[in-house]
C-alpha cells in the first residue's frame, strides 16, 4: 500500500537511483511489514536548483547537492520503534550501497487510513467492513 516518491539530482547515476529504490523497498518489506510485490514508486530527477534545502543545515545536520528526498505515503499504525528502525535501515542501506552520506537521506512518512487507496479498477480494495 505504500506510494514512494524519490527525488534526487539529475547527476545521480541510474545505478544510484536503482539502489535507492531497492533499499527503500527492502526496508519496507523487512522492517515495516509491507507485503511482497507492493512496490509503487515514482523516481524523479531534478536540476540542481530544484532540490532546495537549508545551506546552513538543520537540527545539526548539514546537506550537500547529493541530497535525496524520500516521501512515503502508507497506512497508519506503525510504532515509533518501527519507524526509527525503518529510517536507520534506509539511510544505512543507501549509504552502504551508493556511497551517499547518511546526512543526505531525507525521509518523510505520510500516514493515511486504509480506505484512502485504489489500486485500480476504480475500486476501494481496502474498504471498511460494515
Report yes or no on whether pTM surpasses 0.85: yes
Written as tens digits, the pLDDT of the chain (130 aa) is: 799 999 999 999 999 999 999 999 999 999 999 999 999 999 999 998 999 999 999 999 999 999 999 999 999 999 999 999 999 999 999 999 999 999 999 999 999 988 898 889 998 988 888 7
CATH superfamily assigned to domain 3-116: Macrophage Migration Inhibitory Factor (3.30.429.10)
C-alpha cell at 129: 467492513
Amino acid at each position: 500500500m505504500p506510494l514512494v516518491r524519490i527525488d534526487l539530482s539529475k547527476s545521480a547515476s541510474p545505478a544510484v537511483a536503482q539502489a535507492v529504490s531497492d533499499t527503500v523497498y527492502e526496508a519496507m518489506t523487512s522492517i515495516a511489514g509491507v507485503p511482497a510485490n507492493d512496490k509503487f514508486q515514482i523516481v524523479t530527477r531534478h536540476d540542481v536548483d530544484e532540490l532546495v534545502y537549508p545551506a546552513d543545515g538543520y537540527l545539526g545536520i548539514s546537506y550537500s547537492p547529493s541530497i535525496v528526498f524520500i516521501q512515503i505515503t502508507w497506512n497508519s499504525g506503525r510504532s515509533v520503534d518501527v519507524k526509527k528502525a525503518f529510517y536507520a535501515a534506509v539511510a544505512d542501506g543507501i549509504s552502504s550501497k551508493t556511497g551517499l552520506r547518511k546526512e543526505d537521506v531525507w525521509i518523510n512518512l505520510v500516514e493515511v487510513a486504509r480506505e484512502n487507496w485504489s489500486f485500480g479498477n476504480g475500486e476501494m480494495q481496502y474498504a471498511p467492513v460494515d
